[in-house]
Amino acid sequence: MKLILASKSPRRATILRNAGIRFETCGAAEIDESPLPGETAEQTALRLAEAKARQGAARMSGPAIVIGADTIVVVDGETLGKPASAEDARRMLRRLAGRTHRVVTGVAAMRLPDGASLHGAEVTEVSFALLSDRDIDAYVATREPLGKAGAYAIQGRGGRFITRIAGCYFNVVGLPLARLCKMLRDLGWQQEPGTGTE
């Protein structure tokens, strides 16, 4: 059964590829990622992940499993999405510096053609070092923070600022691998023995 990743994220694709999982991609259409009034971060991430999986599934035919995911950073009750500008990235990094925040990834898997689906949210706590304005300016100048939830990439230059994580590392990158693999198995996906591919 083929896997379809409904995401434009090269980081999510890299996680699957490095895990030896064969998949195809169909970039998810642009959706409004704003939280709804009264939603928790987990609810927002799950809603968006399910929307992405449904959008991907609408363009596919089975047998296949379509995967959608969405990652949100939360610090002191404030949700940090992708920065709108370099200055917004600086603001986010100032909020994260010297604090512990939560990274929440919603992940949804939809099986075709019957439409059976599973979803869940993974939470990882990430602690940041104290950062000077010079540290922040130098990091933003690399442009790595742009397009990243919370304005940093743990697997890139941003990793130098991380002092501790509690939970799934891959969740912080954008796809909770162990949780996803269990969902896929529960939906009937099997990896071929000895090949490292599906």
Catalytic residue annotation: 70
Beta bridge partners of 67: 5, 109
Residue pair 67/5 in contact (Cβ under 8 Å)? The answer is yes
For residue 35 the two structure tokens come to 């939280």
